[in-house]
Amino acid sequence: MDISDLTELHYIAPISNLPSVMKHGILSHERASRLDHESVANATVQARRKDKRIPAGRHLHEYANLYIHARNPMLFRLLRSTDQELCVVCVRTDILYLEGVIITDGNASSDYTGFWPSPEGLSNVDAELSFAEWWAIGVEFERYERIRRKCAEVLVPDRVGPEHIAGVYVSCEAAKQAVEAEGIDIAITLDAHLFFL
């Protein structure tokens, strides 16, 4: 993947967290734990991430994690409950040039995932798999590899400041109204396809 392949990065969040996101930014798991917020994190996955350390870096929970593309297995699992309570926060790609930012070629909790400094590390991300429409293809190992790579991440030390946030995607008019009801000034885009609708 090349930097020109990216127009934005994504963060999956409950709409109810948007006022905090716009005030404090997108926080690492560690920093977010100090604030009152709703979490959509999978407990099993977070248990794996908790003690994982980035090679030549910090613990994974000390990074705010963004996705190369949010139409991925995590969002798919979350949508089994509801799409009207979730949004995808759009983050400008200038975040890639901040000191200490790390690129992964897949889900950071996987033992098979590699970690590289940003933005050079983008060359290790498979654009075709990151932007693929679907990942449940092939035999067992190939399917696992597609799932892992579909969840390529950008890891930002501590937080992504609100100044890097460009807007949000929502799935439908009801979700758009829920964002508007939070009373924050943010660009809202309806994109049912992003939410598998």
* Mean pLDDT on 62-71: 96
Q: What is the mean pLDDT of residues 161-187?
A: 96
Which pLDDT band holds residue 139 (cuts at 50, 70, 90)? confident
Above pLDDT 70, what percent of the chain?
A: 92
Q: What is the pLDDT of residue 81?
A: 65
Q: Give DSSP secondary structure letters for 47-98.
A: HHHHT-B-TTS-BGGGEEEEES-SSSHHHHHHTTT-STTEEEEEE-GGGGGS
- Average of per-residue pLDDT across 150-164: 97
pLDDT in tens, 94-111: 999 999 999 999 999 998
The H or E element that residue 34 is part of is none
Q: For the chain, give the percent of residues with pLDDT over 90.
A: 68
Q: Residue 197's pLDDT band (boundaries 50, 70, 90)?
A: confident
pLDDT at 44: 59
Mean pLDDT across the chain = 90
Task: Using pLDDT thresholds of 50, 70 and 90, give the confidence band for residue 54.
Answer: confident
Sorting pLDDT into bands at 50, 70 and 90, what band is 71?
very high
Catalytic residues: 49, 153
Containing domain of residue 190, as a range? 3-195
Mean pLDDT of 146-165: 96
Cβ contact 124:36 at 8 Å? no
pLDDT reported for residue 42: 56
CA angle, 193 then 162 then 40, to 5°: 50
Model confidence band, residue 55 (pLDDT cutoffs 50, 70, 90): confident
Which tokens is 9 given? 């990065």
Q: Is the pLDDT of residue 174 over 60?
A: yes
Question: Residue 155 in contact with residue 166, Cβ under 8 Å?
Answer: no
Overall domain count for the chain: 1
pLDDT at 84 over 90: no
Question: pLDDT (tens digit, 9 = 90+) per residue, 35-47?
Answer: 776 666 655 555 6
DSSP 131-152: T-S----SSHHHHHHHHHHHT-
Q: What is the DSSP letter of 157?
A: E
